[in-house]
């Protein structure tokens, strides 16, 4: 492909454009560049004012770029910054003459009478640099677009990743004094107190879970992890139903493994409480058709948005999520699942590095949109060899731990919460140490909670309907057999086999009639 690794410019590699085809000079502000450099060299506390805005490449004039690089080096080693120290640093680097010599430095300092507007001047210099980056990027994209050998999809991903890199450099937040922070915290507490159940975030619909979390909190990255066949997708779809149907809050789900129709089938199973095989083959009695038509109306008009783009990149997700937030005020985003995402347009030495970039960007997106993001994650096989199900601690012997997260380091670090799904009956463990029946039960383990308590809660898992619900819920449909998940053994997800059923018992073939 034409856009190979050598062509993938990073934020520091985009060339400075010269005069374009229309004879226009690139955006620049040489007088303000001089004003910024002069102010930094005459005022000892000036550099911290501009340090977060400017880099050497922000300066269009190459001499100015060299001078600011020397200033940056001095600041990094806590050395004083003035005309003489900058000159000495440039001399040590062998760049004094290239930077214009001592005469240039003297001219810069002599032109400055005040540093009062230093921050404003630096912002303009930074904006001009961003404009030049966009011009350089558009020129490169235009050149590649003319190539007959260029893969258009790859070019689009490259363009999006580079625009993302440029936009990230523009995301600067000022330091905030404590008063408005305390005011906002009190306002959120007041609203939480007014809500039923003291839910301050987006409720999951699972009572015991919401008691611990107070709902999914804004800007949080939540990782929901489990081995295949534990019911990750069933759990989030049950939650999607609760949030969108019961609370009428808009929710979006990005599925990299299942199609939109498959997700629709699973929701129909969940809401109508009908077995997946019947949903797939349409072999329903007249009474079941009536039940289906009656119950499915709950989904009509529900603020649920599905996206089944395969191999979704973090840059595509960011673009789509922004649009969903802007147009539909999305309150929660779910990603199924993290390990199937990619960070195309970047080079990585290992998959762990790529997953690290993905998780970091998911956290940044949650903060930017100020909504919770739930990302499903696979676990490694460590727990398969842990415990034999016969010990006194048999119920917890196969329970997941943070160390079981696949590519765990970055995910565990970036996540505000990490939850695991554990179903003892899957491991042929049917009673706990107190003799309680574990069939049809699932344990949700909160293993990490940055802003709250950790602990375990128990839910009922009705496998034939791919549905999680509160233990005390009694919503058995009329004329339907009672839930009994004890004899149901679900199969592995498509990640392990493309020809078998998915993790929660519905066919992975996209041939359902709905």
CATH, residue 82: 1.10.860.10
Task: Establish whether 275 is a catalytic residue.
Answer: no
Residue 208 CB coordination number (10 Å): 17
For residue 229, which of 424, 415, 34, 97 has the smallest C-alpha distance? 424
- Out of 257, 273, 316, 407, the active site residue is 257
Average pLDDT, the chain: 77
More confident residue, 236 or 508: 236
User: HSE on the CB side for 84, CA within 13 Å?
Assistant: 1
For residue 65, which of 30, 116, 110, 113 has the smallest C-alpha distance? 30
Are 366 and 464 within one domain? yes
CB 480, CB 489: distance < 8 Å: no
CB 94, CB 70: distance < 8 Å: no
What is the reported pLDDT for 268? 82
Are 208 and 297 within one domain? yes
What is the reported pLDDT for 339? 78
CB 462, CB 274: distance < 8 Å: no
Are 212 and 152 within one domain? no
User: For 294-303, what is the mean pLDDT?
Assistant: 82
Distances (CA, A) of 255 to 259, 308, 311, 336, 499: 7, 5, 9, 5, 19
Are 109 and 258 within one domain? no
| Assigned domain for 180 exists | no
| Local confidence band at 314 (pLDDT 50, 70, 90 cut-offs) | confident
What is the reported pLDDT for 22? 54
| Assigned domain for 502 exists | no
Distance separating alpha carbons of residues 371 and 216, to the nearest angstrom = 9
Distances (CA, A) of 443 to 123, 235, 371, 455, 468: 52, 11, 26, 10, 11
CB 137, CB 163: distance < 8 Å: yes
User: HSE on the CB side for 446, CA within 13 Å?
Assistant: 20
| Assigned domain for 61 exists | yes
382 pLDDT above the threshold of 70: no
| Local confidence band at 500 (pLDDT 50, 70, 90 cut-offs) | very low
Are 146 and 294 within one domain? no
| Assigned domain for 132 exists | yes
512 pLDDT above the threshold of 50: no
| Assigned domain for 293 exists | yes
Are 337 and 392 within one domain? yes
Least confident range from 171-185, 196-210, 272-286, 426-440: namely 171-185
What is the reported pLDDT for 406? 62
502 pLDDT above the threshold of 90: no
- pLDDT-above-90 percentage for the chain: 17
CB-based contacts of 400, cutoff 8 Å, min separation 6: 225, 226, 227, 379, 383, 420, 422, 445, 447
User: For 174-191, what is the mean pLDDT?
Assistant: 72
**Stated pTM of the model:** 0.63
Last residue in a domain, options 441, 457, 474: 474
388 pLDDT above the threshold of 60: no
Paired sense of beta strands 221-226 and 417-422, if any: parallel
What is the reported pLDDT for 371? 92
Please identify which residue in the block is written with the tokens 């340090």: 51
Are 135 and 210 within one domain? no
Least confident range from 5-14, 74-83, 101-110, 424-433: namely 5-14
| Assigned domain for 110 exists | yes
For residue 340, what are the domain limits?
199-474
Least confident range from 203-207, 265-269, 486-490: namely 486-490
Distance separating alpha carbons of residues 497 and 339, to the nearest angstrom = 16
Alpha carbon 267 to chain centroid, angstroms: 24
469 pLDDT above the threshold of 90: no
More confident residue, 160 or 137: 137
For residue 267, which of 7, 11, 17, 512 has the smallest C-alpha distance? 512
Structure-block tokens of residue 307: 């996206």
| Local confidence band at 484 (pLDDT 50, 70, 90 cut-offs) | very low
278 pLDDT above the threshold of 50: yes
Dihedral sign computed on CA atoms, order 87, 91, 94, 97 = positive
CB 223, CB 457: distance < 8 Å: no
Domain harbouring 223, CATH code: 3.40.50.300
396-408 pLDDT, tens digit per residue, is 667 777 777 765 5
Q: What ranges make up the beta strands (E) of 212-322?
A: 221-226, 251-255, 304-307
| Local confidence band at 495 (pLDDT 50, 70, 90 cut-offs) | very low
Number of domains, the chain? 2
Are 15 and 58 within one domain? yes
94 pLDDT above the threshold of 90: yes
| Assigned domain for 40 exists | yes
Are 258 and 391 within one domain? yes
| Local confidence band at 391 (pLDDT 50, 70, 90 cut-offs) | very low
What is the reported pLDDT for 69? 92
More confident residue, 436 or 499: 436
Least confident range from 205-214, 237-246, 348-357: namely 348-357
Distance separating alpha carbons of residues 273 and 296, to the nearest angstrom = 10
Are 468 and 382 within one domain? yes
Please identify which residue in the block is written with the tokens 């696979």: 378
CB 336, CB 255: distance < 8 Å: yes
Are 14 and 147 within one domain? yes
Are 133 and 225 within one domain? no
329-377 pLDDT, tens digit per residue, is 999 999 987 878 876 655 555 667 777 778 888 888 898 889 999 999 8
| Assigned domain for 495 exists | no
């Amino acid at each position: 492909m034409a856009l190979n690794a050598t062509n993938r410019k990073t934020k520091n590699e985009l060339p400075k454009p010269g005069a374009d085809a229309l004879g226009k000079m690139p955006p620049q502000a040489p007088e303000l560049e001089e004003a910024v450099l002069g102010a930094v060299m005459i005022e000892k506390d000036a550099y911290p004012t501009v340090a977060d805005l400017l880099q050497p490449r922000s300066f269009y004039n190459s001499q100015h770029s060299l001078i600011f690089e020397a200033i940056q080096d001095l600041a990094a080693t806590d050395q004083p910054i003035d005309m003489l120290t900058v000159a000495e640093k440039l001399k040590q680097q062998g760049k004094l003459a290239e930077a214009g010599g001592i005469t240039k430095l003297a001219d810069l300092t002599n032109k400055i009478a005040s540093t009062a507007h230093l921050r404003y001047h630096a912002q303009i210099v930074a904006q001009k640099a961003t404009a030049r980056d966009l011009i350089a990027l558009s020129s490169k994209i235009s050149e590649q677009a003319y190539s007959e050998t260029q893969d258009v999809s790859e070019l689009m991903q490259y363009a999006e990743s580079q625009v993302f890199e440029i936009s990230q450099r523009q995301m600067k937040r000022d330091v905030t004094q404590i008063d408005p922070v305390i005011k906002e915290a009190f306002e959120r507490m007041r609203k939480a107190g007014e809500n039923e159940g003291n839910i301050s975030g987006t409720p999951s619909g699972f009572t015991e879970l919401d008691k611990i979390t107070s709902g999914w909190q804004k800007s949080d990255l939540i990782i929901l992890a489990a081995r295949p066949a534990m019911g990750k997708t069933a759990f989030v779809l049950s939650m999607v139903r609760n949030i969108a149907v019961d609370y009428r809050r808009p929710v979006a789900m990005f599925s990299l493994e299942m199609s939109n129709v498959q997700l629709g089938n699973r929701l129909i199973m969940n809401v109508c409480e009908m077995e997946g095989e019947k949903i797939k083959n349409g072999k329903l009695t007249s009474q079941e058709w009536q039940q289906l038509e009656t119950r499915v109306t709950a989904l009509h008009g529900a603020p649920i948005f599905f996206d089944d783009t395969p191999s979704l990149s973090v840059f595509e997700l960011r673009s789509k999520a922004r649009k969903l937030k802007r147009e539909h005020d999305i309150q929660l985003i779910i990603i199924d699942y993290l390990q199937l995402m990619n960070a195309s347009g970047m080079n990585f030495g290992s998959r762990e590095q790529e997953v690290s970039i993905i998780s970091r960007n998911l956290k940044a997106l949650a903060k930017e949109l100020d909504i919770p993001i739930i990302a499903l994650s696979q676990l490694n096989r460590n727990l398969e060899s842990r415990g034999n199900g016969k010990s006194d601690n048999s119920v917890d012997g196969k329970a997941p731990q943070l160390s079981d997260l696949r590519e765990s380091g970055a995910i565990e670090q970036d996540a505000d919460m990490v939850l695991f799904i554990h179903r003892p009956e899957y491991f042929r463990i049917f009673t706990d140490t107190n003799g309680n029946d574990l069939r049809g039960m699932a344990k949700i383990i909160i293993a990490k909670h940055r802003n709250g308590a950790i602990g375990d809660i128990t839910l009922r898992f009705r496998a034939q309907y791919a549905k999680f619900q509160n233990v005390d819920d009694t919503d058995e449909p009329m004329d339907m057999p009672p839930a009994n998940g004890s004899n149901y053994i679900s199969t592995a997800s498509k990640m392990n086999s493309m020809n078998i059923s998915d993790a929660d018992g519905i066919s992975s073939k996209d041939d359902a009639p709905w």
